Amino acid sequence: MVIFFFLQPFALGNPQVPCYFIFGDSQDDNGNNNDLNTTAKANYPPYGIDFPEGPTGRFTNGRNHADFIAELLGFAGYMPPFANIKGQDITEGVNYASAASGILDQTGRQLGDIVSLNQQLQNHRRVTSQLVRLIGNEAATKEYLAKCLYTFAIGSNDYIDSYLLPECYAASRLCTPRQFARMLIKEYSQQLRKLYRLGARKIAIFGLGFLGCVPGLLSIDGTCVDSLNSEVQLFNEELKPLVDELNAELSSAHFIYVNVTAITLSTMPAEITIDKAPCCNVSTTVSAGQCIPGQIPCSNRNEYYFWDDFHPSEIVYEASSRLAYSALSSLLNAYPFGIGSLGDTDSRDKLEIQ
């Protein structure tokens, strides 16, 4: 049995890294889609019902995955969404994640405007240029960025909103599941190398979970779709070799792979009794699978694994983030070690702005 000691917001001391940059999709989006012309947004109640600021764009009832990682790293606040950054907000990090986005540029486009991973990397290039101007020295900026943590949690939508939609995209008609997984990995590898060239050295890559078991994709009889889980696992199986390849080829690189499927199997907090239905009432029309605006969700939220048809509740994000962070879980949940091992006491130096 796994025992969890839940965090109070910002309970830790000095940050273990000077900054934290987040790339991904709705698992980590904290407002980047709010002002975009898209149905993939969560800036309305009941989203955020347990978050101090209310609805912010997070696709859950409270804190999301990126928030808990920031807390575990010891930051005194959450990383601002790229859409809202200003001034020196960028010195401690930025959240670029965009709901419905994917590794492939076309992923999620049928939902409207989203920020693909390639676009997120372009946004990060803009931020690094701003940091050079703030710090006043390119070499010092690169040294600073090398101490930061970078996380990637993306790829689910390349299946949900691309491969599984043959009427919108040709990928599933033209590629076998293994060919599609390898196509994603090839593109992903190029994107991660691009980030490395921008100065990143400490990078955590999250695998995909059991997509066939989320409420919005269950079979008609309410059971998991094993074929989808098997297809997604083909992608996950390529991530560990990718991490080995990047660590071997890129000087001073520290890439890690977070095994989300293994974590999922061991992150069922004792309180949870409902794992195949969402806590909130979900739409079946335009924003299918998302909470219906303004409707009251379940009151026993800690008993639900899922908040809506696709996203976990806060209690699940908290438990899974702790396992991804902990170096003690390295043999099963993270390879070659947990996110916490990427922290460095020497990286707590104060940034000098000129």
Catalytic residues: 26, 308, 311
Q: CB–CB of 23/154 below 8 Å? A: yes
